[in-house]
Structure 1
Amino acid sequence: MEKIKVGIIGCGSIAKHRHLPEYARNEHVEIIAVCDIVENRVNELADTYNAKAYTNYEDLLANPEIDAVSVCTPNYLHAPISIAALNAGKHVLCEKPMATSRAEGEAMIEAAEKNGKKLMIAHNQRFVPSHQKARQLIENGEVGKIYSFRTAFGHGGPEGWSVDGKESWFFKKQEAFIGAMGDLGVHKTDLLRFILGEEFVEVGAFIETSAKENADVDDTAVCVLKTDSGIIGTLAASWSYVSKEDNSTIIYGEKAILRLEDDPTHSLVVQYKNGEVVKYELGAIQTNESGGQKSSQIINQFVHSIVQDSVPPITGEEGLKSLQVVLSALESNETKQIVKIV
């Protein structure tokens, strides 16, 4: 079978540490183009991967050889570039959050449908082994009725990860649109929807900028969420955790408590009502600290959906539902009201 020819738009850290090395390891893929407005950055990666360098994404999209693209740009460009790529007949893997508004997200979904192309959103938390196992345990009734949860995603901030450090677009509202809540919180809204198998219907949120002096976006957010069956819980997203990254989720059920990514050795600990404790070593979650060497599965899943002509595991519709929770949380913070999620 002929290889899928891929272009990467945006050559920051996520492209450098995740998308490019993971495409390079995939036998069905040939990386033929990279694009970034910073010339020395794009040239360096073009040399590394023997790809053509572009400084304008429209020029890259005009290349008829390219079958699929990864959109790894600042958030405000996710929708316009994804739509342009879909209209140019390319499959699209877009980083999260997929867009900065509901209208943008819907336009992306529409463009994918209209052009008969795949649109996948890069929510990699669904593929973490402990998260998949937890979903399975809940689905087969082992946890019983779910009562509540608490989840967190926090670290010291993007300056430790972004190629631009403290000058990063992550801190600029115009380019990022939203801070920790969009960077980390949307990962968790997607994860909880996946694990619980339910949609959120209401949210109340407090969102602050308290830790970063150079930011005009939020760096600390806490939300209270409720699902359609009445499961309630909290979600914290933060760039103000100055020590080790926290990426834990705890689910409280009728028959057991699930502790995910909460114990340094055991990625899933199940504490049963009868006192029994089962500890699973399922392999560590991928963190920014590990330099992204562990596969996120995102690229392989995206490529598989193209090769098999199957529906990607995280469609535009799925990405939009996860984004909508975040958009409603922002609205709640502004209005100081509990917001119904539509």
Structure 2
Amino acid sequence: MSKIRVAVIGCGAIATRRHVPEYMINPNVKLVAFVDPVLERAEELASKFNALAFSDYETMLKEVEVDAVSVCTPNILHAPIAIAAANAGAHVLVEKPMATNEADALAMIAAAKTNGVKLMVGQSQRLMPPHVKAKEILDSGRLGKVISFRTSFGHPGPESWSVDGKDSWFFRKDEAIMGAMGDLGVHKSDLMRWLLNDEVADVAAFVGTLDKEGTTVDDNATCLIRMKSGAIGTLVASWTYYRGEDNSTVLWCENGVLKVGTDPDRPVILELRDGTNEDIEAGGISTNKRQLPSFVIDEFVKCIVNDEEPSISGEEGLRSLNVILAAFESQKTGKIIAVN
């Protein structure tokens, strides 16, 4: 088959560090267009791939024949761009959070279905090898049911990652809408739903801006979560882990403890009730400091080539988003919120 013609919309850090390098090495892809309001950024990437550069996505979609797009823009733009791309007949890979509210997410899902294109959300946590291995162990039944858990994702914040540093859109409320919870928390809500084969029933949360100056988006959140199975746990998202990034999960089960990402040299650890311990080799978890393959691009391209529904579909993205939205509602009302 001919190569999939891909346009990347938004040429910031996530595009240059994840999407573009992974498209570049995929034999089924041809990068044909780049879009960024800072035209020079799009032009710089376009020059490397003999592609076209644009400052707005509407013009690009009218002038370039594309089969698929990556939406790597500020959160508020995810929905309008994804819907426009779907209406133009392009498959859509959208960064997380897929949208900033449920109505927009539903509109994205509807646009993809109406136009017969695929919609995938870049929830990379469930594709990382240690998490894949952990799910295999849980699904095997060896540990019995999950009783409680904790999951955490924290780093120093977007200023050390974004191409704009402290001036990044991540800190502008009107463009980001949500902060650490949209950046990191939604990764963890998606991971726990997937690992446990379960849905979140209720959320109680403290969400706030504790240390980042000049912004009102959240930089920390601690959530208490109850799953439909009855398992309870905590979900933490933080932009103020100034020393020691954390992307770890611990699950206390009937027959032992499963630890993932708690030790950089021991990706998956089993501690069984009979007193035996096992270290399971499973590759690494990507961090801001240590960039590893995300596997998101390969999954997206595979779904297009094989005409498969993405495992991280729009519907899956919405379920994970609704957990985050419930956390904000809990902070606002001081109540435990049932997840929609």
Scaled by the length of structure 2, the TM-score of the pair is: 0.99
1:339 aligns to what? 337
Spell out, residue by residue over 1:58-86, the C-alpha distance to the aligned partner (whole angstroms, 9 max, x if none): 01111352100000000000001000100
2:41 aligns to what? 41
1:303 aligns to what? 301
In 2, the alpha carbon distance for the partners of 1:65 and 1:295 equals 28
Read off the aligned partner of 1:252 and give its amino acid letter: W
The unaligned stretches of length 5 or more in structure 1 are: none
Range with bigger deviation, 5-14 or 36-45: 36-45
2:63 aligns to what? 63
1:120 aligns to what? 120
Matched, 1:250 2:258: no
Matched, 1:204 2:204: yes
Asked if the contact 1:127–1:297 (Cα under 8 Å) also holds between the matched residues in 2, the reply is: yes
Tell me how far 1:283 sits from its aligned partner: 1.3
1:329 aligns to what? 327
2:191 aligns to what? 191
2:83 aligns to what? 83
Tell me how far 1:214 sits from its aligned partner: 2.0
1:150 aligns to what? 150
SS in 2 for 1:175: helix
In 2, the alpha carbon distance for the partners of 1:9 and 1:185 equals 24
SS in 1 for 2:218: coil
Matched, 1:31 2:31: yes
Read off the aligned partner of 1:194 and give its amino acid letter: W
In 2, the alpha carbon distance for the partners of 1:330 and 1:48 equals 42
Q: Which runs of 4+ in 1 moved over 2 A?
A: none
2:174 aligns to what? 174
Read off the aligned partner of 2:84 and give its amino acid letter: A
SS in 1 for 2:187: helix
Read off the aligned partner of 1:277 and give its amino acid letter: N
2:318 aligns to what? 320
2:264 aligns to what? 264
Range with bigger deviation, 100-109 or 54-63: 54-63
Read off the aligned partner of 1:4 and give its amino acid letter: I
Asked if the contact 1:156–1:245 (Cα under 8 Å) also holds between the matched residues in 2, the reply is: yes
In 2, the alpha carbon distance for the partners of 1:50 and 1:185 equals 37
Percent identity, please: 52
Read off the aligned partner of 1:203 and give its amino acid letter: V
In 1, the alpha carbon distance for the partners of 2:264 and 2:10 equals 33
Spell out, residue by residue over 1:174-198, the C-alpha distance to the aligned partner (whole angstroms, 9 max, x if none): 0000000110000000000010110
Spell out, residue by residue over 1:195-247, the C-alpha distance to the aligned partner (whole angstroms, 9 max, x if none): 01100010000011011002210001000000101000000100010112100
1:104 aligns to what? 104
Asked if the contact 1:248–1:262 (Cα under 8 Å) also holds between the matched residues in 2, the reply is: yes
Scaled by the length of structure 1, the TM-score of the pair is: 0.98
Read off the aligned partner of 2:47 and give its amino acid letter: D
In 2, the alpha carbon distance for the partners of 1:320 and 1:32 equals 29
Asked if the contact 1:269–1:277 (Cα under 8 Å) also holds between the matched residues in 2, the reply is: yes
In 2, the alpha carbon distance for the partners of 1:332 and 1:18 equals 33
In 1, the alpha carbon distance for the partners of 2:165 and 2:48 equals 22
